[in-house]
Amino acid sequence: MPSFKEMVEKYKKRRHDTVVDAVTTGLSLADNVTVDLGLLEDTGVATEIAETVSNVLPFAVIAVTEQCKVLLGKKTGAAGAGDAAYRMVKTGAAMGVGAAVTAAGAGAVVALPAAVSARVIMDRYRGYALMGHRVSLRTQRLKALNTARLSRTSAGE
């Protein structure tokens, strides 16, 4: 079992991914806002390219960063794929929330905080779910140890 210090270092490294994902999602939303506000002229091809790149950018960054971690040996392939999938779902949900807020007429200024809030809520839910799972596993282990202890003491009598 890892020590407390090792766990703190592990979770500090995860914050880096959250910042990268938030920045790329923010850039994507900023591009969509500039198009919606008319700051980017309707030049046709340039607008289409910018919109496509901004929608794909967060997912490409996630795929590249997770693959680098796998290639550098920091994660297994399965862990990298699972983390990439979760980060992509979280990013897609945040982008969807931001788009929905903008479309609802709340304004482009409200879209970015709404998207970041969606990411934070998903992270908290996952953290609580994982903590509950760890507590459940430790409770099962303690019950098994207690049962084994009781069977040894009753066999010795």
- The string of pLDDT tens digits covering residues 81-139 is 998 899 899 988 888 888 888 888 777 778 888 888 888 898 888 888 889 999 999 99
Phi and psi dihedrals of 151, rounded to 5?
Answer: -70, -35
CA atoms within 13 A on the CB side of 83: 21
Distance between CA 116 and CA 63 in Å, rounded?
Answer: 20
pTM of the model: 0.60
DSSP conformational letter for 44: S
